[in-house]
Structure 1
Amino acid sequence: MSAILQEAKKQRASAKGWVTRSMKELGDLLNDDATSLELLETTIRTFDQRLANLEKHQMAVELELNTDEIESDMNETDKLQRSARKIRARAAKRLKDMTVVSDSRSEVKLPSLELPKYAGEAIEWQPFWDRFEALVDQSDLPVISKFSYLQSLLRGEALSVIQGLALTTENYKIACDLLKERFGSTERIIFAHVSGLMNASLTSRAKGVNQCDSLWKLRDQLLRHIRSLEALGISGKQYGMVLTPIIVARLPQDIRLEWSRESAGREGDLDWLMKFLQTEIQRRERSEIFNDLSMEKSNTPQDVERRKVSSASALQTSAEEGPQQCVFCQMRHTFWLTPVKE
């Protein structure tokens, strides 16, 4: 027997011993009704590593054997491997049953809130992850269940990032790290918020109440980006001088005029622009209330009757003044007007 074959068989013998011990440990856990899910997961993981190690050393031995020796040698190890696979199948079934039970029990621990979906937008990453981390990642759910929840919440580009990862305990942390690296970059998020500020505009050029609604939406959109940047350590003073004129240019002309009257010395103050915009919208809303009251008052039955009397008086006065010059025939004669029925 060559030295290489002798060393390979020695390593295989050691691997067999570890597999045998792991089979006993796993069997004891399967026979214990009080076995915890986390302990079973850890033991299965160790068992799989040792079984894979045995298969590696078995292959090393077979490479050193003659063709006529391989079959008898394989039979020696095959019996242990078959027993190992049987107990591994029992452990997989037990783990699945325990996961289902654990999930059903954990449902009462999770708030009855729908978790947001995430498709890869840089601006949406932090709100998504903060909520997922609070409700799922830091909960008492099994790791496998956390990974399953995470997969179910991802869409599009975000899902493709972890598409190739198998649903295992080890891969959960890998999936979280991949997502954070891809979408949680501070620079990328800052750039997305600045782009949002630069591209913000009114959704409608309507007048009156509809314009107020559009202005509120614009103001809320701007404020969302500003507050998000502040949370990342970027204050409005760092970019206000550049972005304030861009935002003001997208406002209606009358609001721009009012801003120019009041903003002397504050042309680059983005926070002041937000306060001004809020005040201006509130003023317009109050003005619209009085406009509505004025319109309602002018359409009362008394006003309608008054307009009828005024029209009749005008016709009577015209008739009393005598014949008028006709614009068609240039002659003076009386006009006979037929009142329009209302």
Structure 2
Amino acid sequence: MYHKLPKLNLPTFGGNMLEWQPFWDSFSAAVHDNLSLNDVQKFNYLKSQLFGEATQCIAGLQITNTNYGQALHVLKQRFGQPHKIVQTYMQSLISLPSPTSNITHLKKFYDSMENYIRGLESIGESHESFGSLLVPIILNKLPGNIRENMVRAHGGDHWNLPSLRQAIQHEITIKEAGQSVNGDDIEPNYTPTSAFFTGTNRNYAKSEREKET
């Protein structure tokens, strides 16, 4: 008798190597290590969560008990090799577009940088192993005035990765504070000159009306 598998709320995976480990951790906990499921059922769950390149690389494997293990082997070889994941994270960091001094651009740069660095740390890489390579790359991407502010606040230009991350975050915090102080209290089109002439014209019009009455 055919039994419909219960629906599980699992992430999907399409071939982005940086998403493999989170996908596998979730799938392993809910399906792979579930002793109440046989390998055919596990394979059905696996296939239902794949798309794109991930689906294509196991497309020739029919859903059988034996092929479930083979499918996992193929996926791990293609997307789950630690050294390839490290290379992909590093290349993503190196390829980050340089931000402008604009607070929005700087925050987007910082958030992307942090996501990739935390990804490296999540697979067991420490900043001691890759920080010395990344520090000059990240510094060279930052606008000159941002670097000057950071050096002034830091008290020098000798950086390691933790201090550089903290300095960029501090610069963003300062910019946000300045933006909230300077940007919210003044009307966008307000200028002292325009306010003066507007007030003068109103007083003149009032005076003329009083003369007529």
Classify the TM-score, shorter chain. 0.7 to 0.9
**Percent identity between the two aligned chains:** 33
Is 1:184 the counterpart of 2:184? The answer is: no
What TM-score, normalized by structure 1, do the two folds share?
Answer: 0.52
The Cα RMSD (Å) is 2.8
Is 1:222 the counterpart of 2:113? The answer is: yes
Q: Which residues of 2 match residues 293-332 of structure 1 at below 5 A?
A: 293-296=184-187, 299=190, 304-308=194-198
Contact 1:162 1:178 in 2 (8 A): yes
SS at match of 1:258: helix
Instruction: Show structure 1 runs of 5+ residues with no match.
Output: 1-93, 312-342
State the partner residue of 1:121. 16
Q: Which residues of 2 match residues 145-156 of structure 1 at below 5 A?
A: 145-156=41-52
Is 1:174 the counterpart of 2:65? The answer is: no
User: How big is each residue's C-alpha offset from its partner over 1:280-324, in whole Å with a ceiling of 9 and x where there is no partner?
Assistant: 111101101112235239839x9754234679xxxxxxxxxxxxx
State the partner residue of 1:193. 89
2 CA distance for matches of 1:310 and 1:238? 68
Contact 2:14 2:53 in 1 (8 A): yes
2 CA distance for matches of 1:212 and 1:297? 18
Question: Compared with structure 1, are the counterparts of its residues 303 and 294 closer, same or farther at alpha carbon in structure 2 (3 Å cutoff)?
Answer: farther
Structure with more contact order per residue of length (Cα contacts < 8 Å, sep ≥ 6): 2
Contact 1:266 1:272 in 2 (8 A): no
Contact 1:119 1:157 in 2 (8 A): yes
State the partner residue of 2:204. none
User: How big is each residue's C-alpha offset from its partner over 1:131-173, in whole Å with a ceiling of 9 and x where there is no partner?
Assistant: 1112222233343222112112222322222111111122111
Contact 2:150 2:171 in 1 (8 A): no
2 CA distance for matches of 1:228 and 1:128? 13
The residue type equivalent to 2:78 in the other structure is R
State the partner residue of 2:206. none
Q: Tell me the CA shift for residue 194 of structure 1.
A: 0.9
Contact 2:110 2:168 in 1 (8 A): yes
1 CA distance for matches of 2:157 and 2:195? 55
Q: Which residues of 2 match residues 226-245 of structure 1 at below 5 A?
A: 226-245=117-136
Q: How many residues align?
A: 200
User: How big is each residue's C-alpha offset from its partner over 1:17-56, in whole Å with a ceiling of 9 and x where there is no partner?
Assistant: xxxxxxxxxxxxxxxxxxxxxxxxxxxxxxxxxxxxxxxx
Q: Which has the larger radius of gyration?
A: 1
1 CA distance for matches of 2:27 and 2:109? 28
Contact 2:151 2:157 in 1 (8 A): no
Q: Tell me the CA shift for residue 231 of structure 1.
A: 2.8
What TM-score, normalized by structure 2, do the two folds share?
Answer: 0.81
